Structure 1
Amino acid sequence: MDVIHPHPQHKTRLAAFIFAATSLFSAAANAWQPIDIDDDSVLRSPPSIAVRNGTLYFDGKIIEGSAEALLRQLDMRRVEKVSLNSIGGDAKEAMEMGREIHKRKMDVEVRNVCASACANYIFPAGKNKFITQNAYLLWHGSLHSPTDEIALESNDQGQTHEMLVTSTFFTALKQQEAEFYQQIGVNGDFAWCPQRQSDYHEKFPEKWFSWSQANLAKFGVNNVRFATSAARWQSTMSGKGVIFADYCQ
């Protein structure tokens, strides 16, 4: 989970973590290894939304208004699948998008990148979840992360960390997240539970992690399908610097 927007009249933006442009970094075997994403469209803002042959293509950041834009397209055209290429963004908007996808029993596809709020809320909401061979699927926490992993991305109101994590807005959004996962039948711990481990910062120094197909199923994230095979995709991603977490509760 990266960006959360409070009520539009406020300018404060909340972030669990801050990521760097189009380059993510990971480490394995005590050596830094960059995760290079060579498609700037994952950061497009506003995002590009287009429908072709029954598939809605979403490219860019999830921002205020993204859910409304998605719903407008779904109401206008026949859409069976949402194809994702997003670094993430607004948690509330992503939850609304996930609810609509789940309600309509639509499939989702990770075409290139689905990270943060995209991976937290949109990916698990799909009926069937397709992952292309070179697609990045990345998590780095949620609203239920340990409070010391919740950070204030920008602050023009003098808000402290303690004010943030105890605010009525944050508490309400955290409850919405719990209700969202209950609605789609998934254990939301998958988005943040590696952060409970004492070696989290050593194992994931840049805080990004992914899951194997088998471990996703343990959290109730089922019907995950791959262009080749689950093992080949995981091997490809590991070779690109992605670190896979061990199952946790």
Structure 2
Amino acid sequence: MRKAALSCLLPLLFGVAGARADGGSEEPTQVYVADGELVYVGLLEPHANARLFALYDSLADKPAVLSIRSRGGTTSYGLALGRWVRDHKLDVKVMEYCMSSCANYVFPAGIHKLVSNFAVIGFHGGLSSKTFQFDPATQQMLDALPPDKRKAMLDQIASTIKDDARQEQAYFRTLGVRADYVTLGQEERYQRRQRSDPNAVGWTYSLDDFARLGVRDITVINPPWRPGSALKNMSFEVLRLDESGRD
């Protein structure tokens, strides 16, 4: 199985396919310019990235801000968009939500970050995660395979993840972001805290802890910041780093 095909099996899309964070259906990704800002709305995907890059190149007056609302997408597309944002020294603006690969790779790439006082920067793991949970369709497919073929496929997936995780960590080093930025919430010491909220589907950080992790220059519109106060059917724990988490 080719690497590109393998990436489709990884649980790196936020939530259930076809479901939006506000409970609606996912629509095709939109890319356009509004009020002098680049706007990206929808899943991170290669055609939308390409349209965004071409749109930026076509403009005489280059926007300085990428305003994004996305529940995520395949990691390679998030990394590609994040690298492009940093290469072009853009700011990133989130008025509603930026989740999964968007939070992992696009948000920290912004030179400056602007968020509304209810915006969610939501995490649930990344390529450096030690464990992965497949979506129901993929798990069903794996369960239907004979044991030897299932093991071979899982071994190949694990190898692909390991190779891609090296790229993820190299990317974080270029941004000055801590290596565990996208995996802290999966550590047992923090998971015990998250279990207090049965509706929590992931985690986020406070302004101070974002800074401790290397994600700085965040401005909140009309603070204080209460992530997710406008979301329906899901919530995010604000992970408070303990002393060992601040090393």
Query: Does TM-score exceed 0.5, indicating one fold?
Result: yes
For the pair 1:146 / 2:142, whether they are aligned, the reply is: no
3-state SS of 1:183 partner: helix
Q: Are 2:180 and 1:189 equivalent residues in the alignment?
A: yes
1:14 pairs with 2:6:
no
Is the 8 Å Cα contact of residues 13 and 73 (structure 2) preserved in structure 1?
Answer: no
Separation in 1 of the partners of 2:222 and 2:31?
27
Q: Root-mean-square deviation (CA), in Å?
A: 2.7
1:130 CA displacement: 0.3
Q: Aligned runs of 1:53-202 on 2, under 5 Å?
A: 53-77=35-59, 78-147=62-131, 150-153=132-135, 154-155=137-138, 158=145, 159-160=150-151, 162-167=154-159, 169-198=160-189, 200=191
Moved more, 238-247 or 214-223: 238-247
Cα distance in 1, alignment partners of residues 91 and 83 from structure 2: 13
Preserved contact between residue 118 and residue 230 of structure 2 (Cα < 8 Å) = no
- Asked whether the 8 Å contact 2:31–2:48 carries over to 1, the reply is no
1:48 corresponds to which of 30, 34, 52: 30
- Residue number in structure 1 paired with 2:212: 218
C-alpha contact 2:14 2:73 (8 A) present in aligned 1: no
- Looking at structure 2, the residues matched to 16 and 220 of structure 1 have their Cα atoms a distance apart, in angstroms, of 22
- Cα pair distance change 1:92/1:201, threshold 3 Å: farther
Question: 2:130 & 2:12 partners in 1: Cα distance?
Answer: 10
Q: Give 3-state SS (helix, strand or coil) of 1:130's partner.
A: strand
Q: C-alpha displacement at 1:237, in angstroms?
A: 4.0
1:27 maps to none
Task: State which structure, 1 or 2, has the greater radius of gyration over its C-alpha atoms.
Answer: 2
Report the Cα distance in structure 1 between the residues aligned to 2:7 and 2:124, rounded to whole angstroms: 23
CA drift of 1:201 comes to: 5.8
> What is the CA–CA distance in structure 2 between the aligned matches of 1:136 and 1:174, rounded to whole Å?
24
CA contact 1:16–1:151 (8 Å) conserved in 2: no
Name the CA distance, whole Å, in 1 between partners of 2:189 and 2:211. Answer: 24
TM superposition shift of 1:165: 4.6
Quote the Cα distance in structure 2 between the aligned partners of 1:12 and 1:110: 26
Q: Which moved more, 1:237-246 or 1:210-219?
A: 237-246
Give deviations 1:120-148, integer Å, cap 9, x for gaps.
0000000000001222221111111122x
CA contact (8 A) 2:92 2:113 kept: yes
CA–CA separation in structure 1 for the residues paired with 2:162 and 2:213: 24
Query: Is the 1:67–1:94 contact (alpha carbons within 8 Å) kept by the matching residues of 2?
Result: no
Q: Give distance in 2, aligned partners of 1:18 and 1:102.
A: 23
- Displacement of 1:101 in angstroms is 0.6
Task: Give the structure with the larger strand fraction.
Answer: 1
1:107 deviation in Å? 0.3
Contact 2:36 2:63 in 1 (8 A): yes
Identical aligned residues as a percent: 23
- Between the two proteins, the alignment pairs up a number of residues equal to 222
Contact between 1:146 and 1:196, CA under 8 Å: does it hold in 2?
A: no
Structure 1 unaligned spans of 5+: 24-36
* TM-score normalised to structure 2 length: 0.79
State how far apart, in whole Å, the 2-side matches of 1:74 and 1:173 are: 28
Q: 1:188 to 1:69 in 2, by over 3 A?
A: farther
Aligned partner of 2:238 in structure 1 is 244
Matched to 1:22, the amino acid is: R
Q: CA deviation at 1:79?
A: 1.8
